[in-house]
Amino acid sequence: MISLRNLCKTFETANGPVEVLKNIDLDIKKGEVFGIIGLSGAGKSTLVRCINLLEKPTSGEIIFDGMNLMKLSRKELLKVRQSMGMVFQSFNLLQQRTALKNVCYPLEIAHVPKDRARKKAVELLEMVGLADKLNAYPSQLSGGQKQRVAIARALATDPKVLLCDEITSALDPNTTRSILELLQNINRTMGVTIVMITHEMEVIEQICHRVAVINGGRIVEMGDVKEVFLRPRSETAKQLILPKS
């Protein structure tokens, strides 16, 4: 579904070039929940932003659904982005719009007729458990509810993939669990592939099938979650997984 080949990203800064991603090779399969874990500054957000070209890689390839994204025109890329939903830690909802209007937003951009957009948005908000909050503004919602709106919005254009960057980091443990259950449900019933960026081991353990451990812009370990948790090999994985004594 998503293949990254020799992906590199260097930022030019006032202090010279900073190499943030180094030769990343990764294959994410259709229908899986794939975790990417690493310490702060490891390059996780940059990596996920490169997948949908919010950030342009310095070199390498991104193959999505058989298409080489680096070779697409801007117009083609905008179309492909509709099949990649993105959810962030900070929700990024439009404050002046109700929950319903937030979910309608990507459909408006895609020129979906108003009544069809509204119907779809209502269905999605019902699906994420917010049937009674259609007309609430973000400021009137809890963190978990805001994240549910953001998830519904990301699903509006029927994406094949959901890219999630630290989406539970601002939530308490119970809310985190319920959001992860929702994602698991979406993965199982709608078949949406999920890429889950996090620094929280519990998140990986609860919903991911496979995981890549990233450190200093490199993948230092990759495998089935059970296997990596049972026998972490890299120093980073050991540091993240093994209980502190």
The residues that touch ligand ATP, with contacts defined as CB under 6 A, are 11, 13, 18, 20, 38, 40-46, 199
187 sits near Mg ion (criterion: CB under 5 A): no
Closer of 46 and 236 to ligand ATP (Cβ): 46
Residue number, 41 or 173, with CB nearest to ligand ATP: 41
- If one asks whether residue 215 binds Mg ion (CB under 5 A), the answer comes out as no
Cα→Cα distances 105→48, 86, 99, 153, 155, Å: 22, 14, 10, 8, 11
* Residue whose C-alpha is closest to residue 46's, from 61, 36, 34: 36
Instruction: Give whichever of 45 and 176 is closer to Mg ion, judged by the CB atom.
Output: 45
How far is it, in rounded angstroms, from Cα 42 to Cα 166?
Answer: 13
Residue 44 or residue 101: which is nearer to Mg ion going by CB?
Answer: 44
Q: Which residue is nearest to Mg ion (CB)?
A: 45
CB 132, min distance to Mg ion, A? 33
Rounded Cα distance, 20 and 233, in Å = 23
Q: Is residue 45 at the binding interface for Mg ion, with CB under 5 A as the rule?
A: yes
- Cβ atoms of 94 and 122 within 8 Å: the answer is no
Q: Shortest approach of ligand ATP to residue 165 CB, angstroms?
A: 7
Burial of 14 (0-12, 13-18, 19+ CB in 10 A): exposed
Residues near Mg ion (CB under 5 A): 44-45
